[in-house]
Amino acid sequence: MEIIHISAECYPAAKVGGLADVVGSLPKYQTLMGHQSTVIMPFYHGKFSRENEFSNIFSGVARLGHANFAFNVLKFQKNQLGYELYLFDIPGLFDRENVYSYKDDTERFITFQIAVLNWLKERKETPDVVHCHDQQTGFIPFLMSKVREYQRFEHVPTVFTIHNGQYQGQFGFEKLYYLPPFHSYYNGLIEWHNLINPLASAIKCAWKVTTVSPSYLDEISHSMNGMEDLLRTERGKSLGILNGIDADVWNPETDPMLEKNFNTKTFEEGKKANKEMLCTQFGLDPNKPLFTFIGRLVGEKGADILPGIIYDVLHYKPGEQNILILGSGEKHIEHALLHLEDQFKGNYCSYIGYNEKLSHLIYAGADFLLMPSRVEPCGLNQMYALRYGTIPVVRRTGGLRDTVTDIGDHGFGVCHDQCTISDVTHAIHRAKHICREKRTFKRIRKQIMEIDHSWNRAALEYIELYQSLKL
């Protein structure tokens, strides 16, 4: 079947977080299963667009309110991704370096969605399913089913995946004219709490709604920025499918970004070499347990409590462990993390910024990965950590609850219930016990590397879901 994924991010073309990893790998696994899985995304003017070649396969116009935007559909030339990638070049809106956080994001992503449907309309083929990801593509199910211009797609099944319900993309009705004309009795399908809300619209109009873990679906029915009622109403067509990981990209045996590759037989020497490399780079002692954090420095990830955790752990138990942080985000968190470096020199360091290579090295060289998330729809970091023999220390929430079992429950990780400094500090002290028991430590590291979190299972679950929608 022909599956079309539409997303704002896709690794390696543009990545802000896990959405890119998912959209960049699920289609590959679906293609390997014999389907034609394609990705459509905007063409940002970043490193990827500068360093690669594309062929222009279509030129058209997308109308946003009273303005017309010319667009080009570019096809990624290299056949290395395992699926076809189409990028929408929309001068004036997407010829910028970053993915989000511009004042006109509403205008940008509505135009993108209109351009995508304008192109799909011109093609001879009709897709078997259109799979949209997050609010930046949230109007597509509505446009396909209720707007005359796109009537051709009325019977094409749509699946919408909520990767992160915190971001809803809502705006006022004064911008209603941005959307192509439709009958006003459909206004309710784009509205939530008196605002136009693309996330709510997708939840209402998509044939199926998925979340990226089963626990997250349960949680958002009780707490999601005022959208709980809607999720409860639409629960019948919703399901949680736990994300997978790209086991080719995230493979410690072949990963070109590591200092030394390793597998389940050689992990002790392999992890040691990567840890030594990291510790040399950051002035830490490789003989101490290394606790790490990788991620966006935002409240959702519990990053605001990291400075407090670092202070408590290193002030009260100095010399027992090292801490290394990689991330970027809210400035006050970045400053607080940098500020602590002088005080705990030799035991703690942080790298503020985005660094793909360093992240791989940390997954490989760390002993533990901290994820104190307040909200975690799925979380990929813990799955990468597991594959690289690094023990996750996680808060029981969302996808973390679905992927990490506490060592006290015959599992392999360290879990805690609250996103608080004291809970995480306690979890860190429990984790150090594992480290001291050398045989247990070795057994767990081997065991976690053997867990299969690749996309094989989830890609099939999605295919079964699409097939259930065939008319």
Residues that bind ligand GLC (CB under 6 A): 17-19, 22, 163-164, 212, 243, 376-380, 399
Phi, psi of 99 (to 5 degrees): -80, -50
* Residue 153 vs 250, nearer CB to ligand GLC: 250
Nearest distance from residue 212's CB to ligand GLC, in Å? Answer: 4
What residues between 364 and 393 interact with ligand ADP by CB under 6 A? 378-381
Cis peptide before 372 (omega within 30 of 0): no
The answer to the question of residue 355 lying near ligand ADP (CB under 6 A) is yes
Helix, strand, coil percent values for the chain (each to nearest 5): 45, 20, 35
Kindly indicate which of the ranges 13-21, 92-100, 221-229, 253-261 contains the residues binding ligand ADP, using the contact rule CB under 6 A: 13-21
Nearest distance from residue 26's CB to ligand GLC, in Å? Answer: 10
Which listed option, ligand ADP, ligand GLC, none, makes contact with residue 212 (CB within 5 to 8 Å by class)?
Answer: ligand GLC
Residue from 97, 354, 451, 456 touching ligand ADP (CB under 6 A): that is 354
The answer to the question of residue 18 lying near ligand ADP (CB under 6 A) is yes
| Alpha-carbon distances of 17 from 12, 14, 293, rounded to whole Å | 11, 9, 14
Q: In 3-state terms, what secondary structure has residue 59?
A: strand
The answer to the question of residue 219 lying near ligand ADP (CB under 6 A) is no
Nearest distance from residue 457's CB to ligand GLC, in Å? Answer: 15
- As a whole number of angstroms, the distance between CA 178 and CA 180 comes to 7
* Residue 314 vs 337, nearer CB to ligand ADP: 337
Q: Which uninterrupted H or E stretch holds 231?
A: helix 228-233
The answer to the question of residue 328 lying near ligand ADP (CB under 6 A) is yes
Give the nearest residue (CB) to ligand GLC.
18
- As a whole number of angstroms, the distance between CA 22 and CA 315 comes to 39
* Residue 23 vs 414, nearer CB to ligand GLC: 23
- As a whole number of angstroms, the distance between CA 154 and CA 300 comes to 37
Dig out the tokens for 361 from the structure: 């090295």
Nearest distance from residue 310's CB to ligand GLC, in Å? Answer: 23
Contact 392, 371 (CB under 8 A): yes
What residues between 269 and 298 interact with ligand ADP by CB under 6 A? 294-296
Using only C-alpha atoms, the chain has a radius of gyration, in whole angstroms, of 23
* Residue 180 vs 295, nearer CB to ligand ADP: 295
Give the nearest residue (CB) to ligand ADP.
18
The strand pair at 158-162 and 129-133 is best described as parallel
Contact 436, 415 (CB under 8 A): no
- As a whole number of angstroms, the distance between CA 90 and CA 96 comes to 10
Nearest distance from residue 11's CB to ligand ADP, in Å? Answer: 8
CA atoms within 13 A on the CB side of 69: 27
Tell me which residues touch ligand ADP (CB under 6 A).
17-19, 21, 294-296, 326-328, 354-356, 359, 378-381
